[in-house]
Amino acid sequence: MNYSNIRSFIHKEGYIFVGCSLGIALICLLFSVALFWIFFIISLCFFFFFRNPSRVVPSDTNLIVSPVCGTVCAITSDVPPEELGLGNKKRYKVSVFLSIVDVHVNRSPVAGKIKKILYSPGKFIDAGIEKSSLFNERNTIIIEVNGDENNLMSFSQIAGTLARRIVCDVHEGELLSKGEVYGIIKFGSRSDIWLPVGVTPLVCIGQKTISGETVIGDMSLPEFAIREAVIVP
């Protein structure tokens, strides 16, 4: 069974962090109450970071949801990098920055078959700035939206200054449900979502997103033009 289909209070990557800090706390209880409380609080912090709250995912297959919790930091319109294989037509990219307090469990924005997974090693520049999309360590999933091999989009996990580990729990050829957990980034990061051609973002810069719930695009709506790309430096 795919882990992402199993309900869990925290992502599996958090088990060792929470377990070890709790174990140390119990050992410390034998000789120091103060140390016990320090490590107990640390374990609660890890539990908070790796939390995996329930989501109410929109059932409409035309709706694209945010894969991450965070703040929309950039919206651009451009031709995607050739390496993604998304074609040479312009499309919108929505970038979301995840702070240390945001939920870091990642969810699929649409249902579909994973066509390709691209991992690129890189730097750990501040994920809040645009150049992190090009130079930072990242993992990108290209998916066939609703099983249509001619309708592709991508969403990425991008490491940041603190995020030093990208975890992807899925593989090429797997089928994902919309809102299904597919990975996590530790401990502060960014996600770039290249929407399907013709889909206009329904979010704005500075808006907060909730993974699996916030609608960032609707494939049933006609595209309308924006005057220029809007980027937060």
Stretch (H or E) spanning 231: strand 230-231
Kindly state the DSSP code that residue 10 receives in the 8-state scheme: B
E-assigned strands of 43-171?
Answer: 63-65, 70-78, 91-98, 105-107, 112-120, 138-145, 152-159, 165-168
CB distance 143 to 84 below 8 Å: no
CB distance 163 to 188 below 8 Å: yes
Structure tokens at 3: 């882990």
Query: Is 95 designated active site?
Result: no
* Catalytic site residue from 189, 191, 211, 220: 189
Backbone φ and ψ for 175, nearest 5 degrees, come out as -95, 130
Distance between CA 155 and CA 218 in Å, rounded?
Answer: 16
Which of the residues are catalytic?
Answer: 189
